[in-house]
Structure 1
């Protein structure tokens, strides 16, 4: 069985220096693009993160400083990544909470535009956790009846994620073979940003998900508390979250 696609979908996976979306960097990215005619193209890049890779991270994904010292920096490969994912939905394993936010952070940090509204994110892990809570290796064994070799290799994990999603759609009658459905099914929280600092209320307005103004509309706080926006922009929030703060701030003065 193949996925029913009206436009391309890019499965991708990141190996990184750590799990802090704001501070950590990509050391490897693999993308598997599946087109509506079921043709596929894949690309994997090693990336010089320009910071040391912690030993605990290297022990997980097997990539050490010496492996990437001659690799391109992210800014040099970003145009190729953007070209590959343009006009495509984005899918991954735990991608809504980690891979997409970190990819967005890397792009914005290097002055490349990224807007999640142009892509429908589909998180294979969410389907798995809703149906059969386990890890990717267990998901691959459960759905595909095979052992996942080279786990934590971006290329192997990306291909496994693609195979698992196809198997999930085939296994569950409740999981439709439709990218719009899969996007909505795997979206756990409706947030305006990627890291979950800014939520959306019933009217679709941006609200704070944290701090002293939790639950309040951004546009109202930016009008009543003039210094709060400045504090947000100087604090250690992800760049994509700051982009939402600024966009809402600008709307609040119109």
Structure 2
């Protein structure tokens, strides 16, 4: 069976533990054709006003819609969920955790374009999807792509973001090929997704703007305190702190 590439995005009721998927959109890239799936999903969790402000989905838009598990899009995703296929998401951890609440356990190989971009373009001021949409001028290409696929372009809409992500994936593939010559770019992006990201400086707290190396020299005890006392320390930050402390 030919490998398939599933480029996916969700919209949700919010970002908390109780929040759920209310839009599931993805493209399936096969050997010859592109399939598009895009559905709104009803749920019992109210949509937060902050989420509404971001994606524009209101409760009225979900009336009469199936629950995520019952949607055609979700059922198709389950059909595709095997190890020979690739799941491509920007900030995959968030969307996968949301889908796990619906019973989805990913078996596909995962490419997180956010993590790949952080590895390939560490000095960019941001790595958000909409940032790259403008920085890489993807917006100049998306209308032609959207017309071919019959997709309406809306910022922060699941299927609209999937379209931008498809274009970003092509650029990241080119960058991966250039930076890792002789390597299969798809395999390398899977590898980069799983590879810790070396964080160079703090973007929060009392040492905001300082490099980890500077803080390790002046206040190593603070870094050790972070490792021992912060329950939800970011895995990349944890890796980076351990690295500077071991030098």
Residue pair 2:173, 2:186 contacting (<8 A) in 1 also = no
Query: Contact conserved, 1:11 with 1:162, CA < 8 A, in 2?
Result: yes
2:20–2:43 CA contact under 8 A, matched in 1: yes
**What residue is the counterpart of 1:129 in the other structure?**
118
Query: Do the aligned residues in 2 keep the contact of 1:13 with 1:154 (CA within 8 Å)?
Result: yes
Q: Tell me which of 1, 9, 14 is aligned to 2:10.
A: 14
1:64-84 C-alpha deviation (Å, 9 max, x unpaired): 111102111122124233124
2:191 aligned partner? 184
Structure 2: runs of 5+ lacking an equivalent: 143-152, 198-226, 232-247
1:88-237 equivalences in 2 (<5 Å): 88-95=85-92, 97-107=93-103, 114=105, 116=106, 118-130=107-119, 131=121, 132=124, 133-146=126-139, 150-172=154-176, 173-174=178-179, 177-189=184-196
Residue of structure 2 equivalent to 1:79: 75
TM-score, length of structure 2 as denominator length: 0.64
Counterpart CA distance in 2 for 1:8 and 1:144 is 26
Asked which structure has the greater RCO (Cα within 8 Å, sep 6+), the reply is 1
The aligned residue for residue 246 of structure 1 is none
Preserved contact between residue 12 and residue 90 of structure 1 (Cα < 8 Å): yes
1:177 to partner: Cα distance: 4.9
**Aligned counterparts of 2:196 and 2:19: Cα–Cα separation in 1:** 24
Structure 1 145/161 Cα, relative in aligned 2: closer, same or farther at 3 Å?
A: closer
Per-residue CA deviations over 1:130-162 (Å, capped at 9, x if unaligned) read 313332112122234436852101011011111
The separation in 2 between residues aligned to 1:99 and 1:174, in whole angstroms, is: 28
- Residues 171 and 179 (structure 1 numbering): CA distance in 2 closer, same or farther, change over 3 Å? closer
Q: Give the secondary-structure state (helix, strand or coil) at the position aligned to 2:139.
A: coil
Q: What is the rounded CA distance, in whole Å, between the counterparts of 1:128 and 1:18 in structure 2?
A: 25
Task: Provide the rounded CA distance (Å) in 2 between the counterparts of 1:127 and 1:163.
Answer: 14
Residue 211 and residue 104 in structure 1: after superposition, are their counterparts in 2 closer, same or farther (change >3 A)? farther
On the 8 A contact 2:138/2:164 being kept in 1, the answer is: no
In the alignment, the residues of structure 1 paired with residue 75 and residue 228 of structure 2 have an alpha-carbon distance, to the nearest angstrom, of 36
| Distance of aligned partners of 1:73 and 1:145 in 2 relative to their CA distance in 1, 3 Å threshold | closer
